[in-house]
Amino acid sequence: MFDGIGFMELLLIGILGLIVLGPERLPLAIRSITGWIRAMKSMANSVKDELEQELKIEQLHSDLKKAENLGLKNLSPELQESIDQLKDAAQSVNRPYKVEDTPSASANVVAEPTPSTASTTETSSTSSNTEKPNG
């Protein structure tokens, strides 16, 4: 990180920071500067990762065009590998989500009350409400 800066330069920067900021504010300034450096590194890494991903997609796209031009016959090993990767990706996208029926899930299904039991429950609850005195 500090390829062009030697130990003496870092020592000089530290002494100047101590003189300018003082011993109370110097640790806070160092923490904020290191936070900025970390943020810049993370942004640079994310941009680098995105560019690598875009370049890989572009390479796969160009390999697919080459394969189409050759008619998918007598392909080089790297072109065949790219085609296989694309086929696997397409299959994973097109594959529907599998819902597996488990026996325990079907055993936990609660039976809905029939209309005759539902009306019996309603009458018993209304009769209990009428028996309570008001007041």
Of the two residues 57 and 133, the one the predictor is more confident about is 57
43-65 mean pLDDT? 89
Question: Which residues have a Cβ under 8 Å from the Cβ of 70 and sit 6 or more positions away?
Answer: 79
Q: What is the mean pLDDT of residues 99-126?
A: 50
**Torsion angles phi and psi, residue 2, rounded to 5:** -105, 60
Helix (H, G, I), strand (E, B) or coil at 13: helix
Tell me the C-alpha distance between 35 and 120, whole Å. Answer: 69
Q: Which of 3-17, 45-59, 115-129 has the lowest mean pLDDT?
A: 115-129
Q: Residue 119: what pLDDT?
A: 47
What value does the mean pLDDT of the chain take? Answer: 75
pTM: 0.46
Residue 111: how many CB atoms within 10 A of its CB? Answer: 5
Of 50-64, 83-97, 114-128, the poorest mean pLDDT is in 114-128
What is the distance between the alpha carbons of residues 106 and 101, in angstroms, rounded to a whole number? 8
